[in-house]
Amino acid sequence: MRALLFLVVAALTGCGNPTSSAPAATTRAAATDPPTRTAPTPNQSQIWFFCDGIDAPVVYLFANTSNQNQTRFIEYDKRSGATVRSLDLQLGEGDGAAGSIYTPLLQNGQDFGHVRQVNAGNFETPAAAYTTPYTSVQIGDRNVECRWLPRTRVAAFTRRRSFVIHEDADGDLIYTTFDFANAATQPIDQSDNGRSTAFSVEVRGGQESVRPDGSDFTFPARDGFSYHISLKNDGSGQLQVLRNGAQVQAEPLTAYIVGQASQD
């Protein structure tokens, strides 16, 4: 099953970091089939995927358009949180090689780069691929490796950080954040073919609750801190940090993906 991805159309507000760090969370995510891109619907703009760079301080977001052979490419700078550029690109015919699919990116018919997707069927544990493993993006002569964690339920980013909610092998939820201010650029290989960097915060033992209009994830942490992630079906979302029940931080999500275990 494919992942559902949303681009949030909302203004970003800067917030400070909490004074103490705590552990991070997990959530279920995408499927392992080749990408199926759908046109946007009212009140939400679905995205193809985003690449949270693990060897460069960038996030590349690929949003769907009404044209199935086109994508909106948006580059974010982690250091400033700013949008560097936003371009409409054409998609070429994907080419399979050595267990990977390379999808060409074109601008005005000229080569602009490509997206690499790995066949999860070749992974150590294929069933752990809740989200489609897009492992790298090349733009011009710059190749960026993308974060990918097994059993991802939610992956998202704000103006200040990215985070992943994923499951461990027992199905317990884990919340993990990666602050942009100290963006690590040294990739770390993880179990089940995961690729990431050193985390900023990790919190285990999260709870999920489902609402008619979305879902919430809550992660109690040390020293009275707790992390709350709210996702809405219209594509909007928010990350909140509370201490002893009082809000100390709130950030709207720029974009998020939701994945799930294969039903096969």
Q: What is the DSSP letter of 38?
A: -
Q: What is the CA radius of gyration of the chain?
A: 17
Q: Angle CA(111)–CA(58)–CA(92) in degrees, nearest 5?
A: 25
pTM for the full predicted model: 0.82
Q: Which two tokens stand for residue 227?
A: 């992390």
68 located within any domain: yes
Residue count of the chain, please give it.
264
Interval 64-84: pLDDT, tens: 999 999 999 999 999 998 999
Number of compact structural domains in the chain = 1
Q: Tell me, yes or no, whether 263 lies in a domain.
A: no
> Which residue range(s) make up the domain with 57?
4-258
Q: What is the pLDDT of residue 28?
A: 30
Q: How far is CA 78 from CA 83, 117, 168, 180, in A?
A: 9, 23, 28, 5
Domain-embedded: residue 264: no
Mean pLDDT of 86-109: 93
